[in-house]
Amino acid sequence: MSSRAVPWLVAGLLFGGVAAAETIVVDGQVAVRQTNVERPGRGSTMNSVEQRFGAPNSKHAAVGQPPITRWDYAGFSVFFEHDRVIHAVATGG
């Protein structure tokens, strides 16, 4: 991939309309369902998440190496490696 294509790829990932889904477990069975819960994107910083979504309901201390931190919001949790989002999960709560 040429280095000129990278900015367009990043912009497409950030602004493209992607169908969102969440994984749920019911009675030991894994299922995927659609969700409209807005969550931060992968690579976002802690500062940008807090600016956009406000202070989380709870912040969990970092564990492991590399350090993984979890912030809980109403309806989703955000997982960070160092200060960058690696995953945001709809929790339904």
pLDDT of residue 11: 46
Distance CA 74, CA 57 (A): 7
The pLDDT of residue 13 is above 60:
no
Question: Residue 60 has what pLDDT?
Answer: 97
Q: Model's pTM, two decimal places?
A: 0.67
In the prediction, which pLDDT does 34 show? Answer: 72
Q: How much is the CA Rg of the chain, to the nearest whole Å?
A: 15
Q: Which residues contact 87 (CB under 8 A, 6 or more apart)?
A: 42, 78, 79
User: Minimum mean pLDDT among 4-8, 60-64, 80-84: which range?
Assistant: 4-8
Sign of CA dihedral 9, 11, 17, 19: positive
Q: Which residue has the tokens 């309901």?
A: 57
